[in-house]
Amino acid sequence: MLDQKLIREHPKSVEESLSLRGKAFNISNINELTIKKKEIDIEISSLQSESKKLSKLIGQEINKCQNNDSQEIKNLKKKGNEYRSKISEFEEKQRILDEQIKNEISNLPNFPSKDAPIGKNESNNIQIKTWGDPLIAEGLKSHWEIGENLNLFDSIKSTKISKSRFITLIGDGARLERALINFMLDIHTKNGYFELMLPALVNSESLKGSGQLPKFSNESFKCSNDDLWLSPTAEVPLTAFHKNEIIDPQQLPIKYVAYSPCFRREAGTYGRDTKGLIRLHQFNKVELYWFCDPSKSQEAHKKITSDAESILKKLNLPYRLVDICTGDLGFSSSRTFDLEVWLPSSKCYREISSCSNCLDFQSRRSSIRSKINNKNTYLHTLNGSGLAIGRTMAAILENGQQKDGSVKIPDALVPYFGSDSLKTA
């Protein structure tokens, strides 16, 4: 959430910064509301000050006068009641304005970083580097063809259980998924991350805090009888884990890793990636998340990206690192580095992790602070997939495919999977 004071005092600057996302933003209405709110705050403060003075005067008069029911004291008390009544009226106006402002601001995205490439869409993203040797050859199979040949998953029967875009992992497919989860969690915990196992159902406030609500309500699955939603990413409960807290600065940075099932409607993507493991309504992910001192978040962003990269390197999966342009940034992100893994069947790189620095955008929405330099300061939050499990499996199947139809398991994963290859029975 953006700072009310900034919107009130520098509305044009706010609009200019937001416009870097490739569309115009008019915040004049929010600006007017914040000005009214400030005026009411001043009025309440003035009335409270006068009320305190009057209360002190009444106390002095009572001490001087033998008759507590004197007309003068009655007049003073009447005036005190009038002050309290006015304060109550203004506080109600303040409450209504607070709610209006919060609702309006919650629909505004984060400011793009000045270091992010300027651009309108993904075509303006900038490749920073590549790693590994992409497999390029004729006659390569897609991961879903490989999965079906090796009997690793079944999407047809899954429609009987739920609907399309769900998948059931079978035998070695389920074992490979489990091996990847354990492998990633072990690597990240050895690298200083603290593991959490979080609820898969989250309330509306948690979704608002991380930035999924109110703007993206159509992207998530909601329980009809409760204020609960299926979590679209562990980023949501990880943000909410410290909601309304003041964290000891000695604990910073706090680095969490969490495996979680994720649920998304994938609204607006029908017809794309309908086969295989790329775009499902339910998928597993290992998430990395930082709370850190604002002065250190740029360095933290490089580190969280490097930690996600380390998984791809250990699995020997070719990838590229991409700097996301201002028009392609996620709602809560100020700057994002995408890791895109090579998928030989489509001869292209596909996103497998987005590592984002959200600055104080999420912590302001969730009221997460720390006393830094003797001042309560909103922390910076960072998140990144470390990695998306299904997409990692797809990359292993395609990059490890052999001419005899088997798949070579990456050496680092063999102790977790229990075999160096996947073969037909």
What tens digit of pLDDT does each residue of 167-225 get?
999 999 999 999 999 999 999 999 999 999 999 999 999 999 999 998 889 999 999 89
User: Alpha helix (H) ranges present in 106-212?
Assistant: 143-149, 156-161, 172-190, 204-210
Q: CA–CA separation, 411 vs 354, rounded Å?
A: 25
What global pTM score does this model have? 0.91
Domain spanning 4-105, CATH architecture: Orthogonal Bundle (1.10)
Task: List where CATH 1.10.287 sits in the chain.
Answer: 4-105
Backbone angles phi, psi at 16, to 5 degrees: -65, -40
In whole angstroms, how far apart are CA 258 and each of 21, 242, 267, 393? 30, 15, 25, 18
Q: CA–CA separation, 368 vs 157, rounded Å?
A: 44
Vertex 338 angle, CA 401 and 293, to 5°: 135
The per-residue pLDDT for 52 is: 85
The secondary structure of residue 222, as a DSSP letter, is B
pLDDT tens, 289-340? 999 999 999 999 999 999 999 999 999 999 999 999 999 999 999 999 999 9
Task: List where CATH 3.30.930.10 sits in the chain.
Answer: 122-422
Contact 205, 236 (CB under 8 A): no
Q: CA–CA separation, 402 vs 387, rounded Å?
A: 24
Q: CA–CA separation, 40 vs 21, rounded Å?
A: 33
User: Alpha helix (H) ranges present in 263-343?
Assistant: 297-314
pLDDT at 272 over 70: no
pLDDT tens, 32-82? 999 999 999 999 999 998 888 887 776 776 667 655 666 677 777 778 788
The secondary structure of residue 64, as a DSSP letter, is H
CB-count exposure of residue 6 (10 Å: 0-12, 13-18, 19+) = middle
The amino acid that residue 341 corresponds to is V
Backbone angles phi, psi at 42, to 5 degrees: -65, -40
Vertex 379 angle, CA 374 and 385, to 5°: 155
Q: Is 3.20.20.70 the CATH number for 122-422?
A: no
